[in-house]
Amino acid sequence: MIKELFRKSDVFPNDSVTVWKDQGKKVIGFMCSYFPEEVIHAAGMLPFRIRGGSCTRTNCSDAVMSNYSCSFARSCLELAMNGTYGFLDGLIGQDSCSQMERLYDNWRFRTRLPFMHLLHLPYKNSDAGIEWYRHEISVLIESLEKAFQVTVTNENLARAIEVYNETRMLLRSLYELRRNENPPLTGAQSQSIILAATSMPREEYNELLRAALREIRSGEPIRDIRARLMVVGSSIDDPTFIKIIEDQGGLVVTDALCFGGRYFWEPVDNQGDPLLALAGAYLSRPKCPRMMNEHIPLFEFITDMVQNYKVDGIIFQKMKFCNFWGGESLFLEKKLKEFRIPFLSIEREQDLTNAAQIATRVEAFIEMIEGAI
């Protein structure tokens, strides 16, 4: 089953999406881990998280977005422009960051989809912000209902929350296994499993993941680990980056990534008003530096991970032109030094053109950790 999950994450659209579409059902793209997928699920549609994957040529999107845009956004746009995302019936943009918002702008001007909606995500986690987000989600639901002639009820939402909470619980179990002294899976494998969650029907995924967990638990533990590492920073939607790290002998045992632990860490409260519960849970989930008043909680999330997963060193990777993680350096690197955890700060591009340089630096970092252990 684990191989089946890897396969689902490798290509998109995968066969599960194709089957879904063949049944006449809709697929809606979304752009950020702060997006409450439960809403799409409750509308009877499939939420599919947009990613750039292993897109290596961005000729068309470079011409449109310029080289001053992050290569993640450019890769996503390239795939939109070359038809890879032709299976989408709609797209929900978010102002998670300027680049994602501009990706949405370019997408709707260049390749219009039948349904397009921009959902404002507050930059602040507060009571007013949660109430604001709740309203934004309700407006989105109205748009979906109108566009697709569907009805989203509180019961559907509660059911969706239950299904997604099950995913969260299962993925927490997966991460629990990574705490072992000799974990049974690599960081790259773990990320593939998470990526699959964002790109296939959720009930089917949960079933596969339950079976995969049984397989993983009975699998061979990984030995000869030179260093237990944590990856922090910009969005990574392709396990190749983590594989480069692990090829040097380190094992990525945890992360603070939006395609990683930050995607699923906390469950959504399934009592009371589901929209308020979704707004509150998503705004309060482990943080991206986009949230203006949550830098200390982000740092605490990282340090809790370091302690719980016995992390020897952190790889702080920043996508070029990712202002949020680039700017976070000012505070985070100072705090990590004070916390006395070794860290390696790396700049990277989506297409990993500097893979060899990254490998060399990671190897040196691991040697440095080994010397200190």
Residue ranges that bind other proteins, judged by CB under 8 A? 63-66, 68-70, 73, 95, 97-99, 101-106, 109, 118, 120, 122-124, 126, 128-129, 132, 135, 289-290, 292-293, 295-296, 318, 320-321, 323-324, 326-331, 333-334, 347
Q: Minimum distance from CB of 66 to other proteins (Å)? A: 4
Q: How far is CA 107 from CA 61, 86, 88, 115, in A?
A: 10, 12, 12, 12
Q: How far, rounded to the nearest angstrom, does the alpha carbon of residue 131 sit from its chain's CA centroid?
A: 24
In the complex with other proteins, the residue whose CB is nearer, 146 or 334, is 334
The label of the residue with tokens 């976070």 reads: 328
Alpha-carbon dihedral angle through residues 258, 198, 135, 76, given to the nearest 10 degrees: 70
Total count of residues recorded for the chain: 373
In the complex with other proteins, the residue whose CB is nearer, 294 or 312, is 294
Task: Please choose, from the candidates 164, 173, 356, 326, the residue with its C-alpha nearest in 3D space to the C-alpha of residue 248.
Answer: 356
CA dist 358 and 226 (Å) reads 17
In the complex with other proteins, the residue whose CB is nearer, 171 or 344, is 344
In the complex with other proteins, the residue whose CB is nearer, 159 or 295, is 295
Q: Quick one: tokens of 317?
A: 């990777």
Q: Minimum distance from CB of 295 to other proteins (Å)? A: 5
Q: Where are the alpha helices (DSSP H) in the chain?
A: 2-10, 15-22, 38-42, 59-65, 71-81, 98-110, 127-148, 154-177, 187-197, 202-217, 240-246, 261-264, 274-284, 295-308, 323-339, 355-372
Q: Minimum distance from CB of 335 to other proteins (Å)? A: 9
- CB burial of residue 79 (10 Å; 0-12, 13-18, 19+): buried
In the complex with other proteins, the residue whose CB is nearer, 108 or 159, is 108
Q: Minimum distance from CB of 209 to other proteins (Å)? A: 34
Q: Minimum distance from CB of 135 to other proteins (Å)? A: 8
H or E, element range at 3? helix 2-10
In degrees rounded to 5, what are phi and psi of residue 363? -60, -45
DSSP 118: E
Q: How far, rounded to the nearest angstrom, does the alpha carbon of residue 124 sit from its chain's CA centroid?
A: 20
In the complex with other proteins, the residue whose CB is nearer, 33 or 190, is 33
In the complex with other proteins, the residue whose CB is nearer, 109 or 371, is 109
> How many CB atoms within 10 Å of residue 312?
23
In the complex with other proteins, the residue whose CB is nearer, 4 or 105, is 105
CA dist 79 and 123 (Å) reads 28
Q: Minimum distance from CB of 73 to other proteins (Å)? A: 7
Q: Minimum distance from CB of 153 to other proteins (Å)? A: 25
Task: Please choose, from the candidates 33, 37, 284, 270, the residue with its C-alpha nearest in 3D space to the C-alpha of residue 154.
Answer: 270
Q: Minimum distance from CB of 13 to other proteins (Å)? A: 26
DSSP 220: P
In the complex with other proteins, the residue whose CB is nearer, 18 or 66, is 66
The label of the residue with tokens 């008003």 reads: 273
Q: Minimum distance from CB of 264 to other proteins (Å)? A: 25
